[in-house]
Structure formats: structure tokens, C-alpha cells
Amino acid sequence: MIITVTLNPSIDRAVELDAPLRRGQVQRAVGTRQDPGGKGVNISRALELSGEPTLAVVPGDSTDPLLTGLDQAGVRYEAVSIGAPLRSNITVTEPDGTTTKINEPGPELDSSTVDRIIDQLIARGAGAQWLVLAGSIPPGPAPNIYAEIINRVRAGLGSAAPRIAVDTSGRPMAEAVSETADALPDIVKPNGEELAELLGRTDGDVLEADPAAAASAAHALIERGVRAVLCTLGGNGAVLVTRDGAWHAVHRPVAVKSTVGAGDSALTGYLIAHVRGESPQHCLRQAVAHGSAAAALPGTEMPSLEHTTPHAVTVTALQLT
């Protein structure tokens, strides 16, 4: 079982255009799609499509369109009522794959709601293989909320606590991997820009373009105590750095339809391979295969294992400098 937590879920509406976006003008869409979204929700959707047991933990009322969407997708979930509608995000995709996103901030979560969510995680987490904390933080919780969840889940479950993955950015990620944190995630999944920001660097474009540089930068988090870093690099694939080594993987070129959810799918592929006992290299291979499959799908559609082509992924060992 893989449990995901999405504190700021959304209804994602994707609009597909047949020409470049023209600001200030009227354009007709050639396709639209609506899906339950947010990073953790996306991961649970992709896991469900691949037949991997998952539970999505989210805030939201029983009549909210997000929960209706999860019902329709067949995703098992547990929701904590908040008495307010969840946010909606809009994605506009152009023919060349250029993606523009407009994200709402989301409803405020008070401390009692956060406590109820953490109680759910402790009640359901024993024996789960992974707990994924993913996405932005809505108004209300402090920036260290993911660090707090890690501490309380591990304190509450002890040796029965699952491994923990964190996929966020900015201060919530910085707090989760702080050198002064009481407990660190087992894996984090930044992209190159987010990794640079996390380390106080300004060369995110360099890390995106240079897998060896990204791997060397990621090793700083391994030295802090994080067990693994999966850093996605867009069209340059991804790198995986652990205490035992570093690898780069890249997929043969695909026709990009939408980049929405590609990073979420990459983490999904890693987790699927990991729970099936695969090596770090194969976990990275499946991560890149999943991310590439997501990029080749329209709008906010998530890939299943059947969409992925891991045989098209080349994995290379890296020497850290």
C-alpha cells in the first residue's frame, strides 16, 4: 500500500488548443478534460491505473467535485471535511507541448483539520510501504508542516512507519530536509530548478542541462541524511542519487503533448519499481519511463504501466565530483 497526502488538492481542468496561445484574444479549444488533481492525488491516480494499492488522504467535503472525480477514477480515499470548496486549476496546452498553468491558492486549513489528517495517517499508515507527502501548502499550515507530519507519523508508528517521500518545493521542502530537522524523508523529488533553490544556488538552468552537475548537487542532501534524491530534468531525463551511487537515465525522444503531471508520474514509476523490489537503477528507469509516458499524454491524463516503455530508457552510472 502506498498512501499519498495532498493538503492542497484541486480539480484540474485542461484545455487543448490547436494554435499558439494568443493573449487578449478569443480562441476555441479542440479538447478539454477534467480530473481530480494535486501532486499526491495524481500519484494515487497513476498507481491505481497500474494496479498498485493506494490510499489518497485529502481535505474535502463528500459532495466536492474532487471526491466525485476520485470515485469515478476508482481511487480509494479518505477525506477530512473542511466545510469549503476545494480549488480549481486551469492548464492550457499548445500544439508544441507548451503548457501554461493557472493555480488557485486553495481554501485555508486550520490546525484542527491538519491534526485530523495526521491522525488518519497514523491510523492507516502501519504496514504501508510508502507515505508520499506531495504538493503545495494551502493557506493556514506553517511552512514546516511536512517536517511536522514526518515527525508525528514516525513517533506514532515507530518501527511500523512507512518510508516517506516528499515532493514539494520552496520553504516546505527546505524545512523537510533542513540540517536541523529531527527526521528526514527517505526520498525527495525536486526538479533541477527546485534543487538549486533548495541548496541556495542560482544555477538551476545548469543543473537542468547537466545531469552530472545535478547529481553532485543532490549528493549534498544525501550527506544531510536523506536516503535518496530523484531529480527530474525535463527532456534530459532524471538522476537518482543514493548512499550507494548515482545514475542518470534518459528516454528516447517522445512527442510532448503536455508536461502536467510528468514529475508526479516519475515519482510514481520509482515507487512502483521500489515496492516490487527492483534495484535503484531499475527504479530510475521506471521513473523516467513513467515521466515520459505522462508527457506524451494529453492534458492531465496519468499513465499506467502499459503506457510506459522502460526498454527505451538508457541508464548510465555517474561519478560524483
Alpha carbon separation from 243 to 143, 183, 184, 224, 301 (Å, rounded): 28, 17, 14, 11, 34
Based on the residue annotation, tell me whether 205 is a catalytic residue of this protein. no
Q: Which of 12, 167, 210, 264 is catalytic?
A: 264
> Is residue 59 within 8 Å of 82, Cβ to Cβ?
yes
β-bridge partners, 134: 167
Quote the CA–CA distance of 311 and 302 in Å, as a whole number.
20
Number of H helices, E strands in the chain: 10, 14
Residues 189, 50: Cα–Cα separation, whole Å: 20
Whether the Cβ atoms of residue 279 and residue 249 lie closer than 8 Å to each other = no
How far apart, in whole angstroms, are the C-alpha atoms of residue 251 and residue 312?
6
DSSP assignment of 189-249:
--BHHHHHHHTT-S-HHHHHH-HHHHHHHHHHHHHHT-SEEEEE-GGG-EEEEETTEEEEE
Q: What is the radius of gyration, based on Cα positions, of the chain? A: 19
- Kindly list the catalytic residues: 264
